[in-house]
Structure 1
């Protein structure tokens, strides 16, 4: 265990490394993220930058490919501010594509390559892109929805093109690898939009966040500093590149330090340790559920035969943290908190298990984040008698807010393409008349030592029997029960009942027993937090960044006509009984009490 002084020193050291790398970033600066990557290519031209499925690009090769994308964009008539949609899986051309387009001021809309149908049409229409880059894997899904778009874009394929698609691979090969003319960049600044990155859409259609060069620099430079990566590091990235954690944090940690990115098309729990050992990886970037999948796997012969010295990412729950550092022997975990569009970020530099970050007392005034008391009925911050918000006491949960300050790049909020959606995220007159704060939508708590812990998402926490139920904390308890592989907890409406009753969707494995589950629930959870309904399913539906989806589960509720698979309700004796149409009618009519 670290002493308070040791914790403070380690935190200050990590913070200093991070702040040193982001120093000088400003919206009015002519230096953009493409210039940072150009500088890396000039410094380490012959080092391996990207490795993917047997292919490799040096830093010089990466920049040359980016230049070909830039020249292609100019020659088809694109100008600064125009948008190109990247509808691609992870592949070696992904970062060079948006890197090259940014050289000539073209904005890349990073589309989730798993989308189909309405959601895909929505994201493409929202982007306003008239050019879409696809490959053999994504092209069929796009062809299916062309008729649903509000305009017909031109399609360019990096693989063998289908009829009506341009041959982008051939077009790039014909372009010179030298940088585009310097005159193209006149007037462009770091405050210009570089990327559109979409929210995950766990509760509805995704929103497009406007990500400026400044924000990309904060991500990439910040993680180049916070991870302490070196030029001899090999960083494993299996997260999707359309999302900031893998596509910016992971890439920045490597590429702004002369290190190599070992890129995977997609995450595989069964191949992970073999990849890590074979490629000699020294760091990997995670989303919490990625590590849970690893922890749920049987022992692998390579899970301790590795050179890993750091895992960094967000969403690592305490029960899985011990597997990463203990079972897998990864020396250090760097957990952080933030969002694509948000202006609040925390780092857990000293590795306190379960904490998403820390705000030491001696640095509190330097942080723009505050946790305020929350009204669970109104799902909004609570106002005091004077009309202003109040900060929570240590140990009390509340919503995290970020002070908006356009003069400070780290505290600015650039918002979404949808101005109305942006305004909904801004809370005004919080602590003083006229101030403005970003609503993170996350419920957090902070302890006496300044460590910050995630509690739940606003909207996921629900009230039952007059108490607030944290879905994340209930899920954590359920996942500790033998045989429970994954748990997704949410509230469902029950006729004639106040609030929402708890329901849990479970993925189970060897050793699962419904009686043991009921006994553990009775022992570990207060009455109001015990799930009224349980459903079993073979796998959990998640987004491309492994976030559990709830919206469909909430809509299906506890109706056996809608729920596929075993369904149970909690009886008066605390046990769980099968929920069939007769029991459902009894609950709906009030004859069976929940």
Structure 2
């Protein structure tokens, strides 16, 4: 009797397990990840109930006491321990205490490349309660001036390699800004911070200078990448910094991991997820001045890297490197980031070994995030019932021609069905705020959607089109600004770029829409670069797009560039290309037009251009 009962119980357990795998295949993945989220939430609430607002800086200071000799940053072979970084950042704080009028709440702009002093200056100013504005080290001239003016800093700290960049705009800088250079030799009008650091005290700065009054108080300004216009300074609160720092921990990283950071620290992935994530773990990071595909795996082996951060095209750049022996000979187990395509994802795993790719989604200034904790290829994250409780989000039907959500007769927005692309929005509320941008309020207001489903509700507009499948995985589809409408259809630029990129002579493809007189919507245009020692085959390009794309998605125009301009986070720069259009009068690069009669792309001469503009040639 007992034996039959045990047999029946075992059979029942096996059946339930089979049923769970069949009907709820991701139950345990969701369950364990939910437990992590709850644990982190409880920990934060405990600090609040005790009246302690424990920030990322506070966590770092506690680690400097607990593990002073543990390496925090490894840079070009030099080791900077937690204690080293604490003392050097205190020196920075004392320089500004003794030689400036900076006070708590003031903004200081930071223009530096990846180097330990970026962290030292950031933390030193944070110890004084200052808000630090991270400036993109790639921007120049008017764009740099725009960024400086928009965050209204009292001071600007510049890295040694960027002093010439600032020297160019010195006469145009707003009055009252003091400029500090991280070099012994600085141009006139700039004070040497490096010189003063050599004699500054490294004694601890009283916590009263930086203790946070609220987790919603500003900690940083991080600029958007500016792919569709001039950058905006997103306000990053202490709360957002804490959330960002939990990303590596959420994916299973530990204090024993060595994190490789090649992404720019002025971007949230490098600073919040990378540096902040190392602090949350108490781990070590290997900091690289600039990403190098040829040195990447050598560095990983040299420093015993176990985790690396990626964004945009970084993984694709690694896959484009010549194959070498021993490519799987490394200790990397995790890669954390966003933006890797499915085909690159598969190729990367096949070539470099069993590395778990941990995709995450979250705009710098956004109030929603997703994490792909299951490793599902192509997905940016997963949602479930509990996630929906934390983030009140929806996907909306979108009018690409008007560049706004579609509303019904009653004026309310319309949700898409699963499997359909829609605009991702997330409700703004007390537990899930949107902090906006520095400067003009219109930038903040433009990112908000009001009266979405009922009167008075407010949602953050991510500007991203996403698809949610039947298993509740999310997939990035496109940016609303990058998607264009042609022949009454919506064209996804990423889809077109992927098809063109399959050609063996194409190095890079950047697709966008251009305005053509007397045509509704925008015609497709592809700007491409060629692989070294490869020649352009116009007939093959034509055959490729006609074969793999619907007629409305085939680019009408082709532009050949020697070099593709990108942002600091490897996103292709489209704004300038869209402005230049397809005119051979403005563009010196070779231009081509899609000729269906000749079944090829043909040179876009001035005569052909005039015929298109006058409507004598149909598109």
TM-based fold match above 0.5: yes
Residue aligning to 2:232? 207
Give 3-state SS (helix, strand or coil) of 2:281's partner. Answer: coil
Q: Does 1:345 align with 2:369?
A: yes
Mapped to 2, the partners of 1:147 and 1:450 lie a distance apart of 54
Contact 1:105 1:188 in 2 (8 A): no
Residue aligning to 1:109? 133
Residue aligning to 2:79? 56
Over the aligned positions, Cα root-mean-square deviation in angstroms equals 1.9
Give 3-state SS (helix, strand or coil) of 2:160's partner. Answer: coil
1:29–1:559: structure 2 CA closer, same or farther, 3 Å change rule?
farther
Question: How far 1:71 moved relative to its partner?
Answer: 2.3
Q: Matches of residues 205-244 of structure 1 in structure 2 within 5 Å?
A: 205-220=230-245, 222-244=246-268
Q: Does 1:135 align with 2:145?
A: no
Q: Using CA pairs below 8 Å that are at least 6 residues apart, which structure has the higher relative contact order? A: 1
Q: 2:434 aligns with which of 404, 413, 417?
A: 413
Q: Matches of residues 338-417 of structure 1 in structure 2 within 5 Å?
A: 338-361=362-385, 363-406=387-430, 408=431, 411-417=432-438
Q: Does 1:445 align with 2:464?
A: no
Q: Does 1:497 align with 2:519?
A: yes
Q: Does 1:17 align with 2:36?
A: yes
1:186–1:365: structure 2 CA closer, same or farther, 3 Å change rule?
closer
Give 3-state SS (helix, strand or coil) of 2:363's partner. Answer: coil
Q: 1:8 aligns with which of 4, 12, 27?
A: 27
Contact 2:244 2:277 in 1 (8 A): no
Q: 1:456 aligns with which of 475, 478, 502?
A: 478
Contact 1:108 1:196 in 2 (8 A): yes
Contact 2:248 2:336 in 1 (8 A): no
Contact 2:427 2:460 in 1 (8 A): yes
Task: After superposition, give the CA deviation of every residue in 1:117-157 in whole Å (9 maximum; x if it has no partner).
Answer: 00111111222112111122111110110111222522212
Give 3-state SS (helix, strand or coil) of 2:503's partner. Answer: coil
Give 3-state SS (helix, strand or coil) of 1:138's partner. Answer: helix
TM-score when normalising by structure 2 = 0.91
Q: Does 1:540 align with 2:564?
A: yes
Give 3-state SS (helix, strand or coil) of 2:136's partner. Answer: coil
Residue aligning to 2:15? none
Q: Matches of residues 254-293 of structure 1 in structure 2 within 5 Å?
A: 254-293=278-317
TM-score when normalising by structure 1 = 0.95
Q: 2:537 aligns with which of 489, 502, 513?
A: 513
Q: Matches of residues 81-100 of structure 1 in structure 2 within 5 Å?
A: 81-100=105-124
Task: After superposition, give the CA deviation of every residue in 1:504-532 in whole Å (9 maximum; x if it has no partner).
Answer: 01122247533222212111110000111
Mapped to 2, the partners of 1:15 and 1:581 lie a distance apart of 61
Q: 1:78 aligns with which of 86, 96, 102?
A: 102
Question: How far 1:179 moved relative to its partner?
Answer: 1.8
Residue aligning to 1:577? 602
Contact 1:324 1:330 in 2 (8 A): no
Mapped to 1, the partners of 2:447 and 2:83 lie a distance apart of 41
Residue aligning to 1:68? 91
Residue aligning to 1:586? 611
Give 3-state SS (helix, strand or coil) of 2:336's partner. Answer: strand
* Gapped regions of structure 1 (runs ≥ 5): none
Residue aligning to 2:580? 556
Q: 1:173 aligns with which of 188, 198, 211?
A: 198
Residue aligning to 2:214? 189
Contact 1:560 1:567 in 2 (8 A): yes
Residues 578-587 or 149-158, more deviating: 149-158
1:30–1:136: structure 2 CA closer, same or farther, 3 Å change rule?
same
Residues 124-133 or 70-79, more deviating: 70-79
1:206–1:19: structure 2 CA closer, same or farther, 3 Å change rule?
farther
1:37–1:394: structure 2 CA closer, same or farther, 3 Å change rule?
same
Task: After superposition, give the CA deviation of every residue in 1:378-434 in whole Å (9 maximum; x if it has no partner).
Answer: 21111122322121101111110011112x1xx210110131110111111112221
Contact 2:401 2:521 in 1 (8 A): no
Give 3-state SS (helix, strand or coil) of 2:260's partner. Answer: strand
Aligned length, in residue pairs = 589
1:182–1:332: structure 2 CA closer, same or farther, 3 Å change rule?
closer
